[in-house]
Structure 1
Amino acid sequence: MLPTSLARPVTRVRRRLLGHRRLLAGLLTAGAVAGGLRVVAPAAPETVAMTVAAHDLAAGQTLTAADVTTAHVPPASVPDGAATPATGATLAGPLRRGEPITDARLVGPSLTIAHPGLVALPVRLPDGAMAGLLDAGDRIDLYAVASAGGEVADAPGTAGGASRVAAGVLVLAVPPTKAAGNSVTTGLSGRLILIGLPDDAVARVTDASVRSFLTFAFVH
């Protein structure tokens, strides 16, 4: 048996423990439940970095570091052709904040991905103001007007001095004047546009753009 001097303190401690047994039991149960939840909780989903628009962007805009940001998304959410990094490129069409930046959204050959059978061709329209009327996605007929000392060869649809050199051409992009190269930077007048057309029309349109005044008409 314990000495009387020790028995009394032990008894008091035992009584206090018994008095708080429900509280202790609750705390132990809560700890066990919390530990179990940590064990069965699913792991954090895997994510990868994707370059997206930091804010709304206009067609023809040259991307800077302030125009793009990084979003972390599931791997399955990353579209084909995701562009990283995308700074310095020119947008072929507008982008909303948070939209991923892909090669099909940038001025270049990849714009024809969604249009099988077409090739991308840069063409300079002599009248820059006229070119400014165009937007990506427009369909146009291209016409050549023979300049002095030259004529358009093998051009169907000839009517007087004008010849239709391509019908139903798809406008892929209208880069801004600075990006396209204006008279200040290249010594050439007019404005470049990027069009999509069948391969067999490339030589005819290229020849007409060099030797003639090239213009267009909107078509449906």
Structure 2
Amino acid sequence: MLRATTPAPPGPRDRRRRRLARRWLSAGLAAAAVGAAVSALAPPRPPQQDVLVAARDLPAGAVLAPSDVQRVERARASVPDGALRSAGGAVLAGAVRRGEVLTDARTAGAGLLTGQPPGTLATTVAVDDPLVLGSLAPGARVDVLARTDDPVTGLPSGAERVAGGVVVLAVPTAPGGGGPLGPDPAGAAGGVLVAVDARTAAELAAAGGRTVVALRAP
């Protein structure tokens, strides 16, 4: 006949293991309780907003490229007014530090050359006719002609085209807010800002004082 075996009473080692297990369990429960209390007392995360910051230190005059900026989250209440939503082509008016939020106050002529081919320059062309000046607007395309003189007599002999189909970037306005320059038909000459390549910009500079702007049909 088989006899039922009686389990041996726990020894000192078993008792130490059980005490140690109970201590770890108590410590874990206490840590969980503290974590829950801290989470309950912590204030909710404030509303966030995506902003563009400088990816590295950038000098004044830098033309921003996608690699120069990065998008990060900042507390909405701390985001400055005028934060840029996009920065491609914007020109920095002053140096910025890495991590600084980019704003319109940090850029000069932000977006003026956006979309233009790399290397495009903005240069001013004089417009003598106030009626022509009054008909121009940003986005218009114009031809720029330079008057030529007879090398012997010095008399006007014609004109040659210096630039064709260039885009008008900006048109000056009268200081009093009266619209384009030329408050009357005999108003003073003005100028417009056009987008050209480097070679054309040099030719326009050489033709200064002899240029004529002709508006192209859309």
* TM-score using structure 1 length: 0.46
Bigger helix share: 1
User: TM (normalized to structure 2)?
Assistant: 0.46
